[in-house]
DNA sequence: GAGTTGGTTATCCATGTGGCTAACTATCTG
DNA sequence: CAGATAGTTAGCCACATGGATAACCAACTC
């Protein structure tokens, strides 16, 4: 029951974490690179990074003492799909309702 | 700082609430309609519905004693956009990196 | 008007989440 | 080796979240 989408959406529901994703979308970066602009204490920030990683949204590779983070695009695409599917379903319904309304209108005139 | 996306993603990070959205994408329904298949107590379920509404994901209209729920598509589209933007950014980077790698490869040969 | 149905409100409780500080390890750099 | 740098771990705290019951209100239905 604990869908992939669960952890994905939960991961994205925080501005700090979304900022990390936004930054990583433009290319890899280290933990401190990402942390620098933030007012938050490093350990708190690290927890966000770890959550992103355990949600499968980023990967990381440690070389020496620095840890380089990379975004993982697949989950984004997956969530995008789900949202699009729901939205299109609903918009399709709307279209059909509107068509029906118009048909009835024509018939009445 | 409390972005629209905050409340949106938080709202979607729960399977019960996503199930409501999935169902409403196929057309309007009443609270009990939606609750019926669920094992959860009604008041708990109601809290989910209310959260969806205050996140702007659904609208509701009460006629008599029943409350009819409607999905609101705009926020879905907005989140979809954000995700798509990040993903395309990243994929664009990948493409350019790959092109670069290929160019270097050609030059070496 | 008595009973039923559809929602709603009020508490309560356990757990999760997001922030902090302090203290530590591990890797450079001079 | 001594110090600085980059992460990490541990522990603490306030508050939000997701679930439950109990009791209630408001509208149908007979």
Mind listing the pLDDT tens digit for each residue in B51-60? 999 999 999 9
Mean pLDDT for chain A overall: 90
Distance CA A26, CA A37 (A): 16
> Band of the pLDDT at A88, cuts 50, 70, 90?
very high
Give the pLDDT confidence score for residue A109 in this predicted structure. Answer: 59
Question: Nearest-CA neighbor of B86 among A46, A17, A60, A33?
Answer: A17
Please compute the mean of the pLDDT values over residues B42-46 and round it to a whole number: 97
CB contact under 8 Å between A91 and B84, yes or no, is no
Q: What is the rounded distance in angstroms from the CA atom of residue A56 to the CA atom of residue A93?
A: 34
What torsion do the CA atoms of A8, A12, A17, A22 make, to the nearest 10 degrees?
100
Q: Say yes or no to pLDDT of A97 above 50.
A: yes
- Cβ distance B9 to A6 less than 8 Å, yes or no, reads no
The proportion of chain A whose per-residue pLDDT surpasses 70, expressed as a percent, equals 83
CB atoms within 10 A of CB B105: 9
Predicted local distance difference test score (pLDDT) of residue B22: 96
Nucleotides of D under 7 A from a protein CB: 5-11, 17-23, 26-28
Residue B61 pLDDT > 90, yes or no?
yes
Closest CA to A73 of A21, A29, A30: A21
Whether the CB of A93 is below 8 Å from some CB of chain B: the reply is yes
Return the CATH class of domain A4-108.
mainly alpha
């Amino acid at each position: 029951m604990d869908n992939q989408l669960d952890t994905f959406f939960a991961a994205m529901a925080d501005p700090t974490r979304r900022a990390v994703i936004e930054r990583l979308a433009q290319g890899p970066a280290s933990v401190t690179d990402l942390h620098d602009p933030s007012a938050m204490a490093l350990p708190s920030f690290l927890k966000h990074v770890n959550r992103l990683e355990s949600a499968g949204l980023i990967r990381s590779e440690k070389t020496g003492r620095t840890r380089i983070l990379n975004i993982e695009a697949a989950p984004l695409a997956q969530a995008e799909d789900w949202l699009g599917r729901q939205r299109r379903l609903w918009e399709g319904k709307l279209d059909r309702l509107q068509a029906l309304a118009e048909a009835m209108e024509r018939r009445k005139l």
